[in-house]
């Protein structure tokens, strides 16, 4: 047949081109997707920042995400808007997110853990957290549709967890899970302090450690995903509104691209069947891959260890702070 030779050549060339890529390799490097979420808006450290600083930080963070066309849902604690003389500017920082096409969700009014207060008190915190964000979304023809649990605390017993979920559903919310988390908030406080003091050496050391730990977290949860599901479902990354991300989120995004990730909306990530997996986890807040593994009776082992020197420096700063507050999460 006249065409057999070209076909053979094409097949041979394709074979050569594809030879180094086993199906498993292709699965793990070219089919990955991830949704980016940014918590504690307008800023994790809003209580110790001026409105001008929050606005500068937001402009830089939103600018990078917008330039790179990354879909993002940001989660708001409206209590952080109420500082005398600064309310308008703090709301302006939130509105920058929606003006740039990003979606906002509810992270409760005062970052209240469902594991620390009664269900009724927590539900009131959810409702209080809706006021301004709903208005900003409505101006851009959007509705509030996601809630992120503060500290990822989703209930200490199954009855509370299910009742909270029913309440959220009745108010039009989907719970926004996370699967990847490298504790950027823990780095952020130490980074802020180094930034204020102009200690560029420490800033660089922190960024390098943050990216390295992030890589460990990605590797670990990519493998746990394959172990649990036989493939890697779309991941959901937890980041926070802070200067560390404003200055360096581009490097996190680059790291993700190099691992073969494309960026998808939270809605698209949640449409994967993995997110409907049985989940009966109760206890201290943790990621959803941990939920699913524990529900199957296989608690995750050998999770990446967070660098102790960063924890030590963070604790030292908290001791020095005039009004130490709980770490944002
Ligand atoms: Zn938070």
pLDDT the model gives residue 173: 98
Which of 150, 151, 146 minimizes the C-alpha distance to 275? Answer: 146
Q: How far is CA 37 from CA 5, 14, 142, in A?
A: 52, 39, 17
pLDDT the model gives residue 3: 40
CB atoms within 10 A of CB 301: 7
- C-alpha of residue 150 to centroid of ligand 1, in Å: 5
Which region among 19-23, 176-180, 234-238 has the lowest average model confidence (pLDDT)? 19-23
Q: What is the rounded average pLDDT of the residues 246-270?
A: 98
pLDDT the model gives residue 8: 38
- C-alpha of residue 258 to centroid of ligand 1, in Å: 28
What lies within 8 Å, CB to CB, of 119 at 6+ separation is: 160, 163, 164, 167
- C-alpha of residue 138 to centroid of ligand 1, in Å: 23
pLDDT in tens, 283-306: 999 999 999 999 999 999 999 999
pTM equals 0.90
- 30 pLDDT tier (thresholds 50, 70, 90): low
- C-alpha of residue 174 to centroid of ligand 1, in Å: 17
Which region among 25-29, 180-184, 291-295 has the lowest average model confidence (pLDDT)? 25-29
Which of 73, 91, 80 minimizes the C-alpha distance to 146? Answer: 73
pLDDT in tens, 206-218: 999 999 999 999 9
- C-alpha of residue 107 to centroid of ligand 1, in Å: 7
pLDDT the model gives residue 10: 42
- C-alpha of residue 68 to centroid of ligand 1, in Å: 24
- What's the chain's average pLDDT? 91
pLDDT at 22 over 80: no
pLDDT the model gives residue 31: 85
Which region among 23-32, 40-49, 194-203 has the lowest average model confidence (pLDDT)? 23-32
CA–CA separation, 245 and 284 (whole Å): 26
pLDDT at 9 over 60: no
- C-alpha of residue 202 to centroid of ligand 1, in Å: 25
- C-alpha of residue 6 to centroid of ligand 1, in Å: 59
């Amino acid at each position: 047949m006249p065409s057999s030779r070209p076909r053979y050549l094409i097949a041979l060339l394709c074979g050569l081109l594809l030879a180094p890529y086993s199906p498993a390799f292709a699965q793990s490097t070219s089919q990955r997707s991830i949704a980016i979420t940014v918590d504690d808006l307008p800023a994790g450290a809003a209580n110790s920042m001026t409105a001008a600083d929050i606005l500068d930080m937001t402009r830089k963070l939103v600018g990078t995400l917008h330039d790179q066309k990354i879909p993002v849902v940001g989660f708001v604690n409206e209590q952080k808007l109420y500082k005398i003389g600064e309310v308008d500017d703090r709301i302006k920082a939130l509105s920058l997110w929606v003006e740039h096409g990003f979606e906002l969700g509810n992270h409760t009014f005062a970052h209240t853990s469902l594991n620390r207060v009664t269900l009724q008190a927590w539900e009131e915190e959810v409702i209080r957290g809706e006021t301004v964000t709903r208005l900003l979304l409505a101006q851009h023809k959007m509705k509030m549709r996601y809630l992120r649990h503060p500290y990822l605390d989703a209930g200490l017993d199954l009855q509370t967890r299910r009742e909270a979920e029913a309440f959220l559903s009745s108010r039009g919310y989907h719970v926004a899970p996370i699967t990847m988390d490298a504790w950027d908030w823990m780095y952020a406080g130490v980074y802020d302090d180094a930034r204020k003091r102009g200690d560029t050496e420490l800033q660089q050391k922190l960024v390098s450690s943050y990216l390295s730990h992030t890589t460990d977290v990605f590797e670990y949860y990519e493998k746990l995903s394959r172990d649990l599901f036989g493939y890697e479902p779309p991941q959901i990354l937890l980041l926070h509104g802070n200067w560390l991300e404003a200055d360096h989120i581009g490097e996190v995004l680059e790291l993700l691209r190099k691992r073969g990730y494309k960026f998808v909306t939270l809605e698209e990530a949640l449409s994967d069947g993995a997110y409907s997996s049985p989940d009966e986890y109760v206890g201290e807040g943790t990621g959803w891959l941990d939920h699913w593994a524990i529900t199957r009776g296989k608690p995750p082992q050998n999770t990446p260890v967070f660098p102790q020197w960063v924890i030590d420096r963070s604790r030292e700063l908290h001791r020095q702070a005039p009004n130490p507050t709980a770490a944002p999460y």
